[in-house]
Structure formats: structure tokens, C-alpha cells
Chain A
Amino acid sequence: MKKILILMLSMMFIASMMFMGTGCKEEAAETVEETEEAAEEVQEEAEEAEEGAEEAAEEDAGGIKYGGVCRIGMQSQPELLDNHLFGTNHVLMITDPLNDFLYRWNADYSALEPHVATSWDWNEDGTELSIILRDDVMFHNGEMLTSEDVKASFERCMDPDNGSGHYGFLTPISDIEIVDDYNMKIILDNFTSGFEEYLVRLAIMPKSIIESDPESLKTNPVGCGPFKFVEWIKDQAVVMEKFDDYYVPDFPYLDGLEYRFYQESTTMHIALENNELDIINWSDAQQVVDVPERNPDIEPILNGVSGAMYLALNMDKEPWKSNKELRQAIRYATDPSPYGDNYAPGTRPVLNQLDSDPRFDANWTWDESWYDIEKAKELLVEAGYPGGEGLDPIVAVGTIGSEGYMPELFQGQMSQIGLEVEVVVNDIPEAVAKWQGGEYDVATLGDIGTSNPGFMVNKYFIPGGALNWVGFYNYNQDIIDLYNLAVQEPDEETRNQMWIEIYDIVTDELPLIYLHTVVTPKLQWNYVKGFISWPDVMEDATHIWLDK
């Protein structure tokens, strides 16, 4: 009798576990529908929250609370902590509070405001940038900053032997002239549009360390920012403390910052809800909707980023190189909406890179007519591949991770017009090796924002472009010619018109098929104030204070 009872209880337990799984699936299906509706609500709430945050920032200026440590969760840890040698945006994000720069963007990304430099001016032809520095900037090792440190920082990044991520942006520099300890000039070969904007990312470090022990900066950074490096617990956290000798009085507001790294997204989000984190600076499509629903004290932040996800065609390989009708067929068979839905709430379809940049009003509007299966089929016939006949399977190469769904989506959509797609999803080194080796037809990629369209054009459309680190590019001679004119065009309006012309060519020629904007969905507790999330995936954590 006892045995039968125990057997029945065991069977019920196992059955209940199975039904839980089924129920979870059914619930998940319902949740997807609810999530889509919730995503729209979240987007509206995020916009309201942003407006509220701006108003609150003005009101709270006198009500700032000092102290506390803000804990920011991230899913990737940096490969090193040296701003000069960065390879990924994570390095820039994490080291940002430790460093200071000549100037930074203001909170609403509308103008540059002085930091280490009190003022800067261009000469008439835009080839000399005169900079006046503050005389009260101290590095974390106690040394005072002078123009020698600025020059040393630039020269370190300009040295091709150092492999600096800033190198490509500094190639226009022909000389750096020291006038005195706090006066200097940066001299360019020619006027270069966007040069000034780029310098917001280049940290100023002590010349003494750059010359004597630069390797130490990878794991023991020394800057002049409002926070000072304490320790890097590998795979766990980078810990910083307030730098008491920062030149801005009563700043920063926090006692410390911690960037904590999580291998598993679910664990990270549980940690946030458990109040073991204050901010997650890159959430995901599902969690950024679900978490605030469960916990109204956690707010989403969905900043619009001037960047886009795209499908890149291998323009070094036939038939992609010379068959425009085939490229257009791909475009008309592509519905960007599922890509955006899988990426993050708040994304929208775009025709090209500038379409995602709020500074350009070029009347591009993605509309339904760009997704037309019948037109795609007609174009395939014109391209010489009716129903996909005669075309080898398209090799679509992507990476494991957030973009991992893109090759599969591409495969599904192309099957509607009879095209066969072979999906290849690798880890980053393998995928990059394939891209650089030209072993792909379509690469599924994204770019996280740009502060200057010239950088994006250089990256994707100019052969041997200094920013083209992945090694693929989609060039067109008209684009190259226009680019060379634009980068040296001093008049901003004329220059912008050239970027628009370039992207009109891109939109017609379709070496890249743009999909949707990139947003970086973040989550924070509502007691976190002052966290600035900019486009270009950059953020300013130095102004955070905790209202608790």
C-alpha cells in the first residue's frame, strides 16, 4: 500500500514538472503577444520618463544627495582598462569615469562643454586647433596635468605600433605643438570634418607613465577623471572610488562606482531586482519589458542611438559585386520588423545609416513599399535567377550572441522568394576571420552609433578605411570621390548635403541592407538620478547620485 502511494506521488510529481514545462510554453506564447503590447507601453513610458528625468534634473540640482556606491551590471567584461588601446566599446564605457577629456558632450548631446580644456578654437581654414588647458587638473597619481601629458596621450594613440583604437581618427594630425604648459595646438594636414567631435573619447593620461610603464595602464589605469581606480576583480567587477582632488568642487556625488560583470543575463536581471545592482546598462528585449512590469520601481531607459543593424553583402564577390537587381531583390524580400522585434523595443526600420541619425532630416522614411515579395521575385528574374535557380546557396555569417538570430531570420525571409541560405553562426574570432577572409555572401552585423557620418562612410565604403577593422567594405567610386570632398569641406551645410548624396547612392546601390535603429535598452532603479545615456552607446555615470 505504501509502495503504491509513493509510486503515485512520484508519478504526480513528475507529471506536474512536465505540465509546468508545457504550461510555461503556453504562457510563453501568451507572453509574447502581451510583450508586444507591453513593449509599446514601455516605449511610451520611457519617453515620459526621459522627459520627467530632464525636468527632475533641473529640480534636483539643489537636492542632490551625496554618498553611496552605484553598482552597474554589464554582460561583458573589458579585455583591458586602457582607453588608448580599446578594442570594444565596453572598455570606453567602463574606463570613462576614470578618465577626463579635453571636452565632453553635454547631457542632451547638443554641444561640447569644456573639461580639461577651457577653450578651443580653429583657425580660418580649419587646420589648426588651439587649445587652452586648465591649470588645476590632477592625475590620480598626484601629478598635475600639462600640455605635455595631452601631447603624450595623443602621440601614444597616433603611434601605429600601439594598435590604438583611436588611431584611425587621428591620422589627419600632422603635428602637435606645445606653446606652454597650458597652451597647445593640434595641426592637421587638411581640414577634416568631425575631427573635433572625436576627441571626446580620447583620455588624457600621465606622460610619465606612458613613457615609463605603458603596459601597466592595461590593468591599473591612471587618469584624471572624477573616479579613481581601486581594483579589477577579474570576471567580477571593476571597482572605483571618488577622486577627492577632482577639479570640480563637490563632485562626483557618489563615493564609488562598481561595474559588475555577469555571464548570464537572467542572473544579472535577478540581481537588479534583488537590489544587488542599481543599473543594468545593456538589457535585452524581453527583460526590459518584463522587469518594470514586475517591479514598477525599476525604469527602462531606451535612448535613440544613431546607429543601425544591417546585412552587409560581400561586394568583392560575384554576383553581389555587379548584380544590382539581385541586391535589390534581397532588399525587397527583407522585412526589417522581426529583426527589430527580436533586438529591443523602441527600434524602428531605417533605409540607411543617416536615417537613424536625428541630426539629419533628409526625408527618408521607411515605408511598407520597401517590403514587397512580388517585386523581389520580379527583380530576381531580371537578375537572371528566377525563383533562385542558378544561384548557389547564400552563406550568411553571423556571431553568437545578440545578433545570433539575424542569419536565421534572413534564411527564413529569403526562402519566400526561393533563395537558399546557409547559416553560419560562430564565435567572434571565427566570424571575424570569415569576414576578413571574404568567406561569406552576407554578413549580419550592426553598428552602435556614430557621432559623425564621415566615420561610418570611412568604415563601410572606403577601401582600406582606417576604421574598417572587420576588413569588409562596400565601395563605389562615386562614394569614394564624394567622401574625399566631404571630409575636407569646411561648410557644414554643404558637407551634410554630401553625406546625404552618399547615402542616396547607398540606398539605391544597396551594398548594405539596413534594417533598424540600434537602441541600448537599460534598466535602473528609480532612485538613481543623473545617469546620462547618450547616443554612440556612450554614457556618463559620473553625474549619478542615489536618492535613497
Chain B
Amino acid sequence: MGIYILKRIGVMLITLVVISIIIFFLIHMLPGDPITILYGKNPNPELIERIQKFYGLDLPIYQQYFRWAGNVLQGDFGASLRDGVPVLDLIKERIPRTLILCFGAIIFGIIFSFPAGILAAWKKGGWLDFSLTSYSLVMLSVPQFWLGLFFILLFSYKLGWFPSSGWIYPGRDFIGFLKIIIMPIVATGFMEAAVITRMLRSSMIDVLSADYITLARAKGNPERRVLMIHSVRNSLIPVITVIGFLIGYLLGGEIVIEKVFNFPGMGSLIVFSTSFRDYPVIQISILFYAALFMVINLIIDIAYALIDPTIRY
């Protein structure tokens, strides 16, 4: 296992280098540059040249890459071209919010989907299965922005239960924080629940038709034990894979949810930075995500081994 993990880390590092090259060149291909946007063509073109020189934007693109990569390897992630705030500070400010939204939505999804998926598989073909499957299909089909706006209109505007949007630091007002985070989490979590429900149902149906389940029933085990001990655990591998992908997807920033709920997460940071060609922020943010995604996948793979003793690396 140890060697496997080391190998994976090695592959991760190589992948990160490749990703950094691709991202760097892609964003520099976009028309427009941040310095001209900030300072304009006038009043002083010499100033623009000087600033471009300061940031190395006048160098050939490959030199710019090596300069940037060298700085990153030395721990210098640069600063926003717009306001000079260190990129790491910007990410550190936003990543906890995105993590809260991401894991909150996943936990909501799991709480909602596990009973639903298990019941649907257990009562396959019945009205319960049909209802739950239809419900998850609807939740997959409904656009998230619509769901978000619907929640705001209903729970905030009509009922006045929750604030419509924004962010409150949990340390300042924990109850206020809970009130403001619940709608974005649920709006995001419904889609995750739908995906997990369908995957769990599908996986459990396969498992429930296996010979060892028939044997477990034949031995007189209670149905609950057959389901929860023998079936669910064996159905988890593909479900955990999907959850891993969902976490990676959500960590990328649920930009639609962030926009609707005015949630200041990583998604809005990346979109905003891209709009203004804030190269250091875009580069480090995407690299950060790539690394995080790979780490999560590694954890998922390790989790397989924990769940299924037959899996060994």
C-alpha cells in the first residue's frame, strides 16, 4: 500500500506539471491583458510598459512560464494583479467557504440518498421504487439556478425563514451562518442526492441478485441484516467513486449556486479573475484544484481497500 501511495504521488506531481503548462498557455492565449485593463492605454503608455516589465508580461511566453513555475516551487505564489493581495490569501479566504458548501451538500445528499437508494433497490419495481426514481430524475433535470431562485422566493421572500443570500462568518454569528448556508447547501445537495440515489440503487440491485445474498436469506438472516450488512457494504464501491467525482466537481466551485446565492466561494473567484485576466490568481487556483482533486481520488482509492478487503494494491 505504501509503495502504491508513493507511486500515485509521483504520478500526481507529473500530472500537475502538465496541467500547469496547459493552463498557463491557455489563459495567456485569451485576448486582452490585465495591465491595460487596469491602467488603460492612456495616460501613460510608458507606465504600462514598465508595469508589464515588472510582472514579466513582456517576456516570451515560455520564459514567463519558467519564471512563474520557479517562483511557485519556492513557495511564492504571487499576488493578484488587480489589488496586490497574495494569491494564497485569496484562496485561503474562499476555500473554507467552498468546502463548507461542498461537504455540506454531499452530507445532505448522502443523508437523503442512502435511505432512498436502499429502499428503491429493495422494493424494485414497486411504487416506492418508481416514486423515488422519478423524483431523482426530476431533481437531475431541474436546473440548479431555477431551484436556487425557487428556494429564495419561497423560503426567503414568501416565508421569511432565511436570508436570501450572502455570507456570514460562523465565528461572528453562528446561527446567522447556519441560516444563510442552509439554502445553498440544500439546493446543491438535491442534485447530489439524485445522482447518489440512482447509483446506489443500481449497484444494490446488482448485489441483491448475487448468489451470496440468496444464501444469506436462505440461512434465515433477517432482511434488515441482509440489506444493511451484506448488500449495502458491497454496493459502496461505485457509490464512493461517484461521491469522489461529485466532491471534485463541487470543489471546482458551484458557480451557478454561488451566483444565485451571492456566495463568495472559489467559483466566483475564478470567474472574476478570468474576466479580468488576473493570471496569477487563475493559475494558482486551477492548480490548487487539480491537486485537491487528485488527493481526493487517492483517498477514494484507499477507501476502496478499506471497504473491500479483497482489494489490495
Interface on A for B, CB 8 Å cutoff?
2-3, 6-7, 10, 13-14, 79-80, 87, 160-161, 163, 167-168, 171, 215, 218-219, 233-236, 260-264, 266-268, 270-271, 273-274, 276, 426-434, 436, 464-471
User: What are 20 residue pairs bridging A and B, where the CB atoms are less than 8 Å apart in the complex?
Assistant: A3-B130, A6-B134, A87-B38, A161-B44, A163-B51, A171-B43, A219-B85, A236-B262, A262-B262, A267-B260, A276-B166, A428-B32, A429-B32, A429-B33, A429-B276, A430-B32, A466-B42, A468-B42, A469-B41, A470-B41
B4 in the interface (beta carbon within 8 A): no
Please provide the chain B residues from 138 to 184 with a CB less than 8 Å away from any CB of chain A in the complex.
138, 149, 152-153, 156-157, 160, 163-167
Inter-subunit contact A428/B37 (CB<8 Å): yes
- Which residues of the other chain, A, contact B37 by a CB distance below 8 angstroms? 87, 428-429, 432
Of the candidates B30, B38, B164, the one whose C-beta lies within 8 Å of that of A270 is B164
- Which residues of the other chain, B, contact A426 by a CB distance below 8 angstroms? 31
Inter-subunit contact B264/A235 (CB<8 Å): yes
* A167/B43 contact (C-beta < 8 A), A236-B167, A274-B164 known: yes
Inter-subunit contact B83/A468 (CB<8 Å): no
Inter-subunit contact B39/A160 (CB<8 Å): no
CB distance from B52 to the nearest CB of A (A): 12
* A160/B41 contact (C-beta < 8 A), A10-B134, A79-B82, A236-B167 known: no
- Which residues of the other chain, B, contact A471 by a CB distance below 8 angstroms? 40-42
CB distance from A232 to the nearest CB of B (A): 9
- Which residues of the other chain, A, contact B85 by a CB distance below 8 angstroms? 219
Given contacts A168-B43, A466-B43, 9 further A-B contacts (CB under 8 A): A80-B82, A87-B37, A234-B90, A234-B94, A260-B166, A267-B261, A270-B157, A276-B165, A430-B31
B25 in the interface (beta carbon within 8 A): no
Interface on B for A, CB 8 Å cutoff?
30-34, 36-44, 46-48, 50-51, 82-85, 90, 93-94, 127, 130-131, 134, 138, 149, 152-153, 156-157, 160, 163-167, 258-262, 264, 268-269, 272, 275-277
Inter-subunit contact A469/B40 (CB<8 Å): yes
Inter-subunit contact A168/B42 (CB<8 Å): yes
Inter-subunit contact B93/A234 (CB<8 Å): yes
A493 to B48 Cα, complex, angstroms:
39
- Which residues of the other chain, B, contact A2 by a CB distance below 8 angstroms? 127
Inter-subunit contact B42/A469 (CB<8 Å): yes
A466 to B46 Cα, complex, angstroms:
13
Majority DSSP secondary structure for residues of B touching A: helix
CB distance from B42 to the nearest CB of A (A): 5
- Which residues of the other chain, B, contact A234 by a CB distance below 8 angstroms? 90, 93-94, 264
* A433/B31 contact (C-beta < 8 A), A167-B43, A263-B258, A273-B157 known: yes
Of the candidates B48, B134, B157, B258, the one whose C-beta lies within 8 Å of that of A274 is B157
Inter-subunit contact B38/A79 (CB<8 Å): yes
Inter-subunit contact A80/B83 (CB<8 Å): yes
A427 to B258 Cα, complex, angstroms:
20
Inter-subunit contact B47/A161 (CB<8 Å): yes
Of the candidates B83, B160, B164, the one whose C-beta lies within 8 Å of that of A219 is B83
Inter-subunit contact A434/B31 (CB<8 Å): yes
- Which residues of the other chain, B, contact A160 by a CB distance below 8 angstroms? 43-44, 46-47
- Which residues of the other chain, A, contact B277 by a CB distance below 8 angstroms? 429
Inter-subunit contact A215/B84 (CB<8 Å): yes
A236 to B167 Cα, complex, angstroms:
7
Inter-subunit contact B268/A470 (CB<8 Å): no
- Which residues of the other chain, A, contact B131 by a CB distance below 8 angstroms? 6
- Which residues of the other chain, B, contact A163 by a CB distance below 8 angstroms? 38-40, 43-44, 47-48, 51
A79 to B51 Cα, complex, angstroms:
17
Inter-subunit contact B42/A465 (CB<8 Å): yes
- Which residues of the other chain, A, contact B82 by a CB distance below 8 angstroms? 79-80
* A436/B130 contact (C-beta < 8 A), A267-B261, A276-B164, A427-B275 known: no
A167 to B47 Cα, complex, angstroms:
12
Inter-subunit contact B134/A264 (CB<8 Å): no
A432 to B36 Cα, complex, angstroms:
9
Inter-subunit contact A468/B134 (CB<8 Å): no
Residue of A nearest to B274 (CB): A427
- Which residues of the other chain, A, contact B94 by a CB distance below 8 angstroms? 234
A463 to B238 Cα, complex, angstroms:
65
A534 to B32 Cα, complex, angstroms:
33
A236 to B277 Cα, complex, angstroms:
21
CB distance from B290 to the nearest CB of A (A): 23
- Which residues of the other chain, A, contact B138 by a CB distance below 8 angstroms? 13-14
Inter-subunit contact A467/B32 (CB<8 Å): no
Residue of B nearest to A163 (CB): B39
- Which residues of the other chain, B, contact A10 by a CB distance below 8 angstroms? 134
A128 to B254 Cα, complex, angstroms:
57
CB distance from B68 to the nearest CB of A (A): 19
Inter-subunit contact A267/B268 (CB<8 Å): no
- Which residues of the other chain, A, contact B160 by a CB distance below 8 angstroms? 274
- In this complex, which of A261, A266, A428 has the most chain B Cβ atoms within 10 angstroms of its Cβ? A266
- Which residues of the other chain, A, contact B166 by a CB distance below 8 angstroms? 236, 260, 276
Inter-subunit contact B275/A428 (CB<8 Å): yes
Inter-subunit contact A433/B33 (CB<8 Å): yes
A427 to B40 Cα, complex, angstroms:
16
- Which residues of the other chain, B, contact A167 by a CB distance below 8 angstroms? 43-44
Residue of B nearest to A459 (CB): B42
- In this complex, which of B39, B40, B127 has the most chain A Cβ atoms within 10 angstroms of its Cβ? B40
- Which residues of the other chain, A, contact B269 by a CB distance below 8 angstroms? 235
- Which residues of the other chain, B, contact A264 by a CB distance below 8 angstroms? 259-260, 262
CB distance from B45 to the nearest CB of A (A): 10
A427 to B276 Cα, complex, angstroms:
9
Inter-subunit contact B83/A263 (CB<8 Å): no
- Which residues of the other chain, B, contact A273 by a CB distance below 8 angstroms? 157
CB distance from B176 to the nearest CB of A (A): 12
- In this complex, which of A234, A270, A433 has the most chain B Cβ atoms within 10 angstroms of its Cβ? A234
- Which residues of the other chain, B, contact A431 by a CB distance below 8 angstroms? 32
- Which residues of the other chain, B, contact A468 by a CB distance below 8 angstroms? 41-42
